[in-house]
Amino acid sequence: MLFYKCNFCDPITKRGEKPVKSINAETDEFIKDDKGKYYHLSCYKKYLKDKKKLTDIEIEKIINDCQEKRKLEIKENKEKDRFLQWIMNFYDGSLPAYFMTKLQKVREGTYEGINEPIDYLTMLDIYQHMENYLRKLRAKKQIKNVTQQMNYDLAVVIGNYGNYKKYKAKQEQNVVSKNDINKQIEVEEKVNAIKNNKEYKDDDSEFNLIDIIDELMF
């Protein structure tokens, strides 16, 4: 079970003393404020009212904001876990710290070569789309260690982000126009052809990920 220290009702402990943590994360209503401190929900209300002299309306707004932020944080963590689980399965189960730093940069949009944040589910989707291709590359290139492989693959994946976005936009557009079922089938056939045949060429297929990578890489 997970416990947190309530920043209002739990006593301040001195160094070396065992801190009191009375918030049970599974059963208690609690809040994490914007400084990352935890409170029982009722304690937080009391704290804002008595110490910060806020009105009930102000308190309600702050609590709503905190809970909204918390929801997003939980969602983000779940997505991250799902992505990292896939990465660990795809490689040898390790997650080197430097690789995590790179992923964090991709997530924040500060990674070299990208100019916007990429969320974890999108990263996962690109890796999954490119999985077979990455395996083939791996066999061909025979990179010695897994850390180099992870770096190399990440560069390939990020290098194809633009193509991926075009591909998704096209896919969405095709899903939206339900009347155009034939076109949808045609797109799927093209995608399948690309998946099945690395040599497949088509001038107007913007979602031709694998061929584009081939041109970039070789």
Q: Which residues bind Zn ion (CB under 5 A)?
A: 6, 8-9, 40, 43
- Residues 208 and 201: their CA atoms lie apart, in Å, by 8
| Location of structure tokens 């490119």 | 130
User: Between residues 44 and 120, which has the closer beta carbon with respect to Zn ion?
Assistant: 44
User: Between residues 5 and 107, which has the closer beta carbon with respect to Zn ion?
Assistant: 5
Give the nearest distance from C-beta 70 to Zn ion in angstroms: 17
- Residues 113 and 102: their CA atoms lie apart, in Å, by 12
3 state DSSP class of 5: coil
113: left (phi over 0), alpha (psi -120 to 50) or beta: left
User: Between residues 3 and 152, which has the closer beta carbon with respect to Zn ion?
Assistant: 3
Give the nearest distance from C-beta 40 to Zn ion in angstroms: 4
- Residues 143 and 152: their CA atoms lie apart, in Å, by 9
Give the nearest distance from C-beta 23 to Zn ion in angstroms: 7
DSSP 168-190: HHHHHHHHH-TT-HHHHHHHHHH
User: Between residues 6 and 87, which has the closer beta carbon with respect to Zn ion?
Assistant: 6
User: Between residues 49 and 165, which has the closer beta carbon with respect to Zn ion?
Assistant: 49
- Going by their DSSP bridges, the two strands 30-32 and 38-40 should be labelled as antiparallel
Give the nearest distance from C-beta 50 to Zn ion in angstroms: 13
Phi and psi at residue 110, in whole multiples of 5°? -105, 5
- Residues 68 and 61: their CA atoms lie apart, in Å, by 11
User: Between residues 9 and 146, which has the closer beta carbon with respect to Zn ion?
Assistant: 9
Give the nearest distance from C-beta 42 to Zn ion in angstroms: 7
Give the nearest distance from C-beta 51 to Zn ion in angstroms: 13
Instruction: Determine the Cα angle at 20 with ends 53 and 7, to 5°.
Output: 20
- Residues 61 and 75: their CA atoms lie apart, in Å, by 21
